[in-house]
Structure 1
Amino acid sequence: MRATEVPEIDGAYLFASTPHADERGFFCRTFDAEVIRSVGLDPYSFVQDSVSRSARGVLRGLHLRSGAGEAKLVRCSYGRIFDVVVDLRPSSPTYLHRALLELSDETQATLYIPAGCAHGFQALTSTADTSYRIDRPHDPAEDVTIAFDDPDLAIPWPLPPTSMSRRDREAPSLAEALKQKES
């Protein structure tokens, strides 16, 4: 594994795996504490793992947490996703910048998203499994959602959304969500 900075988002990293493929399929390391530590992160701070399965066109996000926020490691373990990170940390040099990446099962790359950044993705394949590793227990009372189609963000989603949660469909604008995040 090797770590590279995501230039659009201060403190974000992409951890690239090296899948070893043969006639049986492939094998690759998807988490390495030493590589995580090499960029100044505590690999043992992650306390919960989750996975979502999405069909092509499903859109999830944009999500973040209020208060102390939540750092995440995100990986597409099966299929492909269009992944979006928006820096909402007012003191960050990349405040309001966004990173647009494709994560896939072919690369098994893992994206580190710092606390205070919003995250969302859209499934590009008929099935896309996305794994999350977060650094604090989830508390739904701290959930903040931003409209996926907020004009100030102008995210170029690659497909028309085929499905999304009610929470995501009814999400407030970026300006309203930022007020909620601060409370």
Structure 2
Amino acid sequence: MKATPVPEIVGAFLFEPTPHVDARGFFSRTFDAAVARSVCIDPDGFAQDSISRSAKGVIRGMHLRSGRGEAKLVRCSYGRVFDVVVDLRPGSSTYRNMRFFDLSGDTQATLYVPAGCAHGFQALTDPADVSYRIDRPHDPSEDVSIAFDDPELAIPWPLPVALVSDRDRQAPPLAQALERV
């Protein structure tokens, strides 16, 4: 497994495993504490694991947390997603930068999203399973959503939007959401 810095988002990393493929399928390590430590991520600093399953075209996001924020490891364990990270840390040298990723169950790559960055994705397959490992317990009172179709972000979602949650459909534009961060 190797960890590659994401130049557009300071502190973000893409962890790429080396799957072992044979006639049965594949085996892949999806997390390695030593590799995490090598890029100054505390492997013991994660508090919760979650998974979402989405139908093709579903958009989840854009989400972040207020206060200290929330760092997370994100991996598409099955299917494929168009993944988006936006740096919303005011003091960051990559503030307001955006980066897109093609995450899939075929590669099992994991994305480290630093606290203070907004994150979201669109399912490109039916279904797409996304696993999350977050660095502190979830507190719904700290949830911040940004309109997935905000013209200021102009995210080029690759498919027509099939479905979004009520929370995401009613999310404010970026400028208004930043008042809550």
- TM-score bucket (shorter structure): over 0.9
Q: Secondary structure at the match of 2:172?
A: coil
Amino acid at match of 2:68: A
Aligned partner of 2:130 in structure 1 is 130
Percent identity, aligned pairs only, is: 72
Residue correspondences, number = 181
Residue 8 of structure 1: CA displacement?
1.0
Aligned partner of 2:39 in structure 1 is 39
Aligned partner of 2:99 in structure 1 is 99
The alignment's TM-score, normalised by the length of structure 2, stands at 0.99
Aligned partner of 1:25 in structure 2 is 25
Q: Secondary structure at the match of 2:111?
A: strand
Q: Secondary structure at the match of 2:121?
A: strand
Q: How far apart, CA to CA, are the structure 2 residues paired with 1:84 and 1:33?
A: 25
Does residue 175 of structure 1 match 2:175? yes
Q: How far apart, CA to CA, are the structure 2 residues paired with 1:6 and 1:82?
A: 16
RMSD: 0.4
Q: How far apart, CA to CA, are the structure 2 residues paired with 1:126 and 1:53?
A: 9
The alignment's TM-score, normalised by the length of structure 1, stands at 0.98
Aligned partner of 2:85 in structure 1 is 85
**Gap runs ≥5 in structure 1:** none
Residue 170 of structure 1: CA displacement?
0.6
Amino acid at match of 2:15: F
Q: How far apart, CA to CA, are the structure 2 residues paired with 1:28 and 1:60?
A: 26
Residue 153 of structure 1: CA displacement?
0.7
Amino acid at match of 2:166: R
Q: Secondary structure at the match of 1:102?
A: strand
Does residue 153 of structure 1 match 2:129? no
Amino acid at match of 1:137: P
